[in-house]
Every structure is written in structure tokens, then in C-alpha cells.
Amino acid sequence: MANLKIGSTQIKLLENLCGTLGVSGHEVKVRKLILEELGDLGAEHTVDALGNLLVTRKGTRRGRRLRVMVAAHMDEVGLMVSGDDKDGIYKFEVVGGLSAAQLVGKPVVVGKELIPGVIGFKPIHLTTASERSSGVSLDSLRIDTGGAGNGKVKIGDRAAFAPYFAVLGSGRTRALRAKALDDRIGVASLIELVRNAPENIDLLAAFTTQEEIGVRGAQVAAHAFDPDLAVVLDCSPAHDLPHWDDDEENTRYNTRLGAGPALYVADKGTLSDPRLVRHFTATAGEAGVPFQFRQAGGGGTDASAIHKVRAGIPSISVSVPGRYLHTAASIVRVSDWQNTLRLVHAALSGMNPSLLNTERV
């Protein structure tokens, strides 16, 4: 197995990726950063009409090589400025899966210049008991830049949570806290895979756009690549917390931190190809990498678009488990990230054309 490790270089790269503003539809800065990172490789690349960055690294092994698309989405959930209330205060709409509860009191950055602001809220001194017990509506919230936005912020500008990247703890449970780990951690992993591309396959790396608003970029990226199969790298929610209110077993955690990469069998959008599920679990066994199955249920990844493209593309998703996704600060474990990268690299390195010779069973 390649000695893929998550060290200070990779963590610094992830910090830079998470610190970049890339709300769905405006992924240009993330794309630029990826291109800078991959610049010295001389890999063939194109940027398509939807802004997807498509990088091809052909294998060197002779004979037929599988053409494997590996996708990670560049965009993050965030906000779009929709109205100017004067004095640096702005109305906004949400982009992707966010609700008022995640927004109240959070520092944000607005527009290309990353103008700092905050989603303000009436302080507790001034609220009544009934106000405190009722929910918050999105309509009642504003972004307040304290005047810094005057003349600079325009309607249509994106805003995202302000980055506060941190490495938490050390050893087995060492963790990373950041906004936009969904899916910059997949992007960071895909950059590592392009740098360490296996010789046995043609690696078709798709850094996709607009995943959070309906897996839009991946659909056209898959059509263009027309691959033999696809692997999607994402970050999936972990709700592996104790039940605080009773003694019941937590049966709906989705994924768990520390249990390794989460393999998807079924979510709302995709039934993973069983041949790929078996290939990944067998690879994990051989490589001694722990893994978990993400609990079947709702949600979806770029795979939901990719697998239905053209006459069908066998697909699977593999993700790093992360707590508190789609909030101002998520948490992932370094060990899960490293094990995900190792498993995916080992699985790609073990892919031969015979993988798809049998019918889907």
C-alpha cells in the first residue's frame, strides 16, 4: 500500500480549502486553489460549462485499464445576499440545506473580498420569555457587516460561515474543526489521489459544483467523462452521540467517528453497486483498514446523479464521518480521514477490468 499519510502538509491544505468561500454556484476560488495545488503535475484538465474541474491522469500499465471517475464536490452550503437594508445590513437567502437554527449569532464572510459580518440576533437582555421559547424564522435574520459592506456588497454575493480552523487534541482521537468540511475533505483527499494516482487505472478526477443544491455538476461531469465506474468521496453526518434524555440505545447515528471510512450501501438517491461494495470491503480486510457501513436512509451524494448517466455507471460513495455538518463548525477525526484515503487508494490500485466482468449481483 502506498504510504499515504495525513500529516501537517495535508492538514494545512485542508485548512486552506475550508478557509475558501465556495458556496454552490460560485466555486471559482476553490477551483483556483486546487489548480495551484495540482499545477506542477502537468495533468490534463478542463473546466466545463458548469464549472466542474475535470482532471485526467492516465495509468501507465499496458493493456486495458478501467476508466474510474472519482468525484468530490467543491461547493459548500451558505447564503446569498438578497437585499440591502442600508448601513451594511443585508437580507439573505440560504443556498443548500441550512435553517435558521444553524445561523443565529454566527460570524460570516461576505463576497469576493470576504468582508466580515455576523448574523445578528436580539440579545437575551431584551427578549421576553415567549420570544425565548419560540423558534427563529429565517425572515427575521440579517447579515450585519457593521458598515464594512457599504459600497462593496452587492445583491447576489455569496456569504459563508467564517472559518475558524482548529486541530483538536492529539493521538487516536485527534480531530479537526472547521466549516465546509463537507466536502473540502473529499476535495483534499482527491488532490492526494491525483498526486498518487495508481498506474492500473485511468483516474478521472471530477471536482464538482452545485452538489448541495441538487447534484447538478456531477451529472454533466459524468456525461463528459463517460467512465466505466465511479467512486464518490464525501463527508457524511455522524450523530454518534449518547442519548442524554433516556437510557435507550442510539440506533440512528448514521455514521460514527473513529470507526473508519463509511461505505454507502443505500441512500435516498443511490443503491451502490454490490460489486463495488464487495471490492471495497474485501480491500479493507486485506489492507487492515477499519470501515463502517453508513446507515441506509435519506440523504444522497454525487453518486445519485452519476449512476444514472447515459446507459448507467456502477457507483459507490465513501465518506469521512463528520459531526455537525452544515453548521458553522464540523468535527472530523484525522484517523478516519487517513483510513478513508488509504482504503480508496488501495481499492483503486486493486481495480482490474475483471471487476465488472460479472453481472451486477
Partner 1 sequence: MKNLIQRLVETTGPSGYEQDVRALVRGEIEKHADEIRVDAMGNLIARKGAATTKSATQGKRIMISAHMDEIGVIATHIDKNGFIRFTNLGGVYPRNCVGGRVRFLNGTSGVIGQEKAGAQEAKPLSEMYIDVGATGEKDCPVSIGDVAAFDRPFTDLGDRLVAKAMDDRIGVAVGIETLKGLKKTPHEVYFVFSVQEEVGLRGATTSAYGVDPDIGLAIDVTGSGDTPNGLRMEVGLGKGPAIKVRDGGMLSDPRVIEWMVAAAKKAKLPYQLEILEGGTTDARAIQLARAGVPVGCLSIPCRYVHTPSEMVDYNDVRNGVALLVELLSRPIDLG
Distances in Å between the Cα of 197 and the Cα atoms of 120, 173, 319 are 46, 29, 19
Distances in Å between the Cα of 110 and the Cα atoms of 86, 160, 210 are 15, 7, 19
- We find the least distance from the C-beta atom of residue 188 to partner 1, in angstroms, to be 27
Q: Is 80 helix (H, G, I), strand (E, B) or coil?
A: strand
Q: Using the minimum distance from each CB to partner 1, give the nearer residue, 180 or 262.
A: 262
Say whether residue 35 binds partner 1 (CB under 8 A): no
Beta bridge partners of 89: 144
Say whether residue 296 binds partner 1 (CB under 8 A): yes
- We find the least distance from the C-beta atom of residue 265 to partner 1, in angstroms, to be 4
Measured CA to CA, the distance from residue 211 to residue 306 in angstroms comes to 12
Residue in 97, 147, 312, 353 binding partner 1, rule: CB under 8 A: 312
Residues 204 and 54: beta-carbon distance below 8 Å? yes
Say whether residue 246 binds partner 1 (CB under 8 A): no
- We find the least distance from the C-beta atom of residue 252 to partner 1, in angstroms, to be 6
Measured CA to CA, the distance from residue 239 to residue 255 in angstroms comes to 7
Say whether residue 126 binds partner 1 (CB under 8 A): no
Q: Residue 320: in which H helix or E strand, if any?
A: strand 315-323
Say whether residue 28 binds partner 1 (CB under 8 A): no
Q: Which three cell numbers stand for residue 135?
A: 423558534
Stretch that binds partner 1, among 104-112, 231-239, 306-314, 330-338 (CB under 8 A): 306-314
DSSP assignment of 86-149: STTEEEEEEESS--HHHHTT-EEEETTTTEEEEE----GGG--HHHHHS---GGG--EE-TTTT
Residue in 128, 252, 354, 357 binding partner 1, rule: CB under 8 A: 252
Say whether residue 274 binds partner 1 (CB under 8 A): yes
What contacts 287, CB < 8 A, 6 or more positions away? 1, 342, 343, 346
Residue in 128, 130, 170, 251 binding partner 1, rule: CB under 8 A: 251
Q: Using the minimum distance from each CB to partner 1, give the nearer residue, 124 or 361.
A: 361
Stretch that binds partner 1, among 94-102, 112-120, 311-319, 342-350 (CB under 8 A): 311-319
Stretch that binds partner 1, among 28-36, 102-110, 246-254, 341-349 (CB under 8 A): 246-254
Residues 275-294 that bind partner 1 (CB under 8 A): 277, 293
Stretch that binds partner 1, among 45-53, 136-144, 250-258, 326-334 (CB under 8 A): 250-258
Instruction: Name the amino acid, one letter, at 132.
Output: R
Q: Using the minimum distance from each CB to partner 1, give the nearer residue, 170 or 357.
A: 357
Q: Site size for partner 1, by CB under 8 A?
A: 25
Say whether residue 224 binds partner 1 (CB under 8 A): no
Distances in Å between the Cα of 187 and the Cα atoms of 38, 182, 192, 207, 226 are 12, 9, 9, 7, 21
Greatest alpha-carbon span in the chain: 73
- We find the least distance from the C-beta atom of residue 204 to partner 1, in angstroms, to be 16
Measured CA to CA, the distance from residue 214 to residue 148 in angstroms comes to 33
Q: Using the minimum distance from each CB to partner 1, give the nearer residue, 125 or 252.
A: 252
Q: What are phi and psi of 339, to 5 degrees?
A: -65, -35
- We find the least distance from the C-beta atom of residue 306 to partner 1, in angstroms, to be 11
- We find the least distance from the C-beta atom of residue 297 to partner 1, in angstroms, to be 5
Q: Could you tell me whether strands 143-144 and 166-168 are parallel, antiparallel, or unpaired per DSSP bridges?
A: unpaired
Residue in 195, 308, 324, 327 binding partner 1, rule: CB under 8 A: 308
Say whether residue 266 binds partner 1 (CB under 8 A): yes
Residues that bind partner 1 (CB under 8 A): 249, 251-253, 265-266, 271, 274, 277, 293, 295-297, 307-314, 356, 359-361
